[in-house]
């Protein structure tokens, strides 16, 4: 038995001359949460569709639980749950009707269906909404309904494409609690996001840009191994300091966060504080070292086109 829920090797998808995903290598351990982090259009949805077998790859291969996605798509269907980026249930059906519909597609028996739907409505706080139309519910409730539907057949592997883009931070936190419950019971989850805080919750993640995986690893490892030190600059004329710093090739990026400038200094400089005050004497007593964040990693490896949370 393979220890991997997902394996991909050189996975590539071209639309005409344009490569939406290029040479993606991936290994996702069973029972873990793996994140795809990247800006709009970087290829997250395309990669998920390749891994689920909904799109055929131009090159490369993907396996789920050791089985080729291309050759075993029928057998693998029952092992996969897929929550698409757009709400894909029926607005003019009630919560219960939507779940009945999905359960019938997955071939659950009548008795099993009723029991499973009641259980899911309890688990996802939907019981009071059972007879409400999906179209009349809030973003958070619709998202819980979509997750209930995606898990109705108890798939061991879940693909979630930007599942929380339409919900507020509190609902997002609750949603992640549900994901960790699923993970705890053995489900493997691949989730795409452009939120840094969400990516930080994943066991492992890959940062994608322009269809290419730039780095992967645990959030902590990515932060530890970043090729830059983070320096915070305070004081006056931060806009002028930023303009001056950005001319220097040792400065990978600088961004103002409130009353500070957050600066990534190439790790080739062993002592970034000394280096900065030597080259910019006006920064004497105005610089401190800061702990790297996942956003710093993102900026460091992509040039910084992601969104901030
Ligand atoms: N069927 C298609 N035909 C042509 N181009 C496509 C097709 N599907 C996706 N693309 C292009 O491939 C690139 C990657 O798209 P994809 O939807 O995978 O990105 P994404 O990271 O999921 O973006 P978003 O966060 O906006 O959903 C985009 O430039 C998109 O326009």
Q: What is the pLDDT of residues 89-148, one digit of tens each?
A: 899 999 999 999 999 999 899 889 999 999 999 999 999 999 999 999 988 899 999 999
Distances (CA, A) of 220 to 23, 134, 169, 203: 25, 39, 22, 9
Same domain, 194 and 65: yes
Mutate to test the pocket of ligand 1, among 16, 19, 40, 43 (most ligand atoms within 8 A of CB): 43
**Rounded-to-integer distance, Cα 121 and Cα 161, Å:** 22
Q: How far is the CA of 12 from the centre of ligand 1 (A)?
A: 13
Give the single-character DSSP code of 92. Answer: T
CA nearest ligand 1 atom 25, residue:
40
Among 188, 222, 256, give the residue marking a domain's end.
Answer: 222
Residue in the structure block whose two tokens are 């706080």: 125
**Rounded-to-integer distance, Cα 159 and Cα 189, Å:** 6
Distances (CA, A) of 225 to 39, 220, 229: 22, 9, 10
pLDDT at residue 248 greater than cutoff 60:
yes
pLDDT of residue 279: 94
pLDDT of residue 306: 42
pLDDT at residue 87 greater than cutoff 90:
no
pTM above 0.95, yes or no: no
Distances (CA, A) of 156 to 13, 90, 99, 148: 26, 25, 19, 14
Same domain, 197 and 240: no
Task: Look at residue 309 and tell me if it is in a domain.
Answer: no
The number of the ligand 1 atom at minimal distance from the alpha carbon of 42 is 21
Q: How far is the CA of 21 from the centre of ligand 1 (A)?
A: 9
Same domain, 40 and 165: yes
The SS3 of residue 73 is helix
Same domain, 14 and 126: yes
> Could you report the predicted ipTM of this complex, rounded to two decimals?
0.95
Task: Look at residue 308 and tell me if it is in a domain.
Answer: no
CATH number for the domain harbouring residue 167: 3.40.50.300
Mutate to test the pocket of ligand 1, among 35, 41, 206 (most ligand atoms within 8 A of CB): 41
CA nearest ligand 1 atom 6, residue:
15
Name which of 128, 168, 170, 162 is nearest 146 in CA terms: 162
Give the single-character DSSP code of 83. Answer: E
Domain residue limits at 280: 227-291
Same domain, 10 and 118: yes
Question: What is the torsional sign of CA 109, 113, 119, 120?
Answer: positive
> Into how many domains does the chain fold?
2
CATH number for the domain harbouring residue 239: 3.30.70
Ligand 1 pocket residues where CB is under 6 Å: 15, 20, 38, 40-46, 85
The sheet with strand 204-209 has its strands ordered as 80-83, 157-161, 188-193, 33-37, 204-209, 212-217
**Rounded-to-integer distance, Cα 64 and Cα 6, Å:** 5
pLDDT band at 285 (very low <50, low <70, confident <90, very high): very high
For the chain, how are helix, strand and coil distributed in percent, rounded to 5? 35, 30, 35
Same domain, 41 and 132: yes
**Rounded-to-integer distance, Cα 36 and Cα 306, Å:** 12
Of 60-69, 213-222, 299-308, the range with the lowest mean pLDDT is 299-308
Task: Look at residue 297 and tell me if it is in a domain.
Answer: no
* Percent of the chain surpassing pLDDT 90: 80
For the segment 158-208, what is each residue's pLDDT rounded down to a tens digit?
Answer: 999 999 877 888 888 889 999 999 999 999 999 999 888 899 999 999 999
pLDDT at residue 39 greater than cutoff 90:
no
Q: Which residues in the chain belong to E strands, given as ranges? A: 4-15, 18-29, 33-37, 59-64, 67-68, 80-83, 157-161, 188-193, 204-209, 212-217, 228-233, 251-257, 260-266, 287-290
The sheet with strand 67-68 has its strands ordered as 18-29, 4-15, 59-64, 67-68
pLDDT of residue 304: 53
Same domain, 264 and 213: no
Among 186, 205, 222, give the residue marking a domain's end.
Answer: 222
pLDDT at residue 308 greater than cutoff 50:
no
- For residue 6, the cross-strand partners are 28, 64
């Amino acid at each position: 038995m393979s220890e991997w829920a997902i394996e991909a090797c050189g996975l590539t998808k071209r639309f005409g001359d344009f490569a939406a995903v290029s040479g993606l290598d991936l290994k996702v351990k069973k029972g873990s949460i793996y994140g795809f982090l990247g800006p709009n259009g970087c290829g997250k949805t395309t990669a998920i569709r390749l891994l689920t077998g909904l799109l055929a790859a131009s090159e490369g291969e993907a396996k789920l639980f050791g089985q080729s996605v291309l050759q075993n798509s029928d057998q693998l269907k029952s092992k996969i749950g897929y929550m698409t980026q757009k709400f894909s249930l029926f607005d003019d059906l009630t919560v219960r009707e939507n779940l009945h519909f999905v359960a019938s597609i997955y071939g659950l028996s009548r008795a099993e269906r009723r029991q499973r739907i009641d259980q899911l409505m309890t688990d996802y706080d939907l019981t009071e909404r059972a007879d409400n139309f999906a179209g009349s519910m809030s973003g958070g409730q619709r998202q819980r309904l979509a997750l209930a539907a995606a898990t109705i057949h108890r798939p061991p592997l879940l693909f979630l494409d930007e599942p929380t883009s339409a919900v507020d931070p509190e609902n997002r936190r609750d949603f992640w609690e549900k994901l960790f419950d699923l993970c705890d019971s053995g489900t493997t989850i691949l989730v795409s996001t452009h939120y840094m805080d969400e990516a930080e919750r994943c066991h492992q993640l890959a940062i994608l840009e322009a269809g290419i995986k730039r780095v992967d690893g645990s959030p902590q490892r990515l932060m530890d191994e970043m090729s830059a030190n983070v320096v915070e600059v305070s004081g006056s004329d931060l806009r002028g300091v930023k303009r001056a710093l950005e001319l220097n090739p040792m400065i990978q990026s600088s961004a103002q966060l409130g009353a500070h400038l957050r600066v990534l200094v190439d790790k080739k400089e062993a002592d970034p504080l000394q280096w900065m005050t030597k080259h910019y004497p006006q920064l004497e007593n105005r610089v401190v070292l800061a702990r790297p964040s996942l956003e710093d990693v993102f900026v460091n490896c992509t040039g910084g086109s992601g969104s901030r949370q």
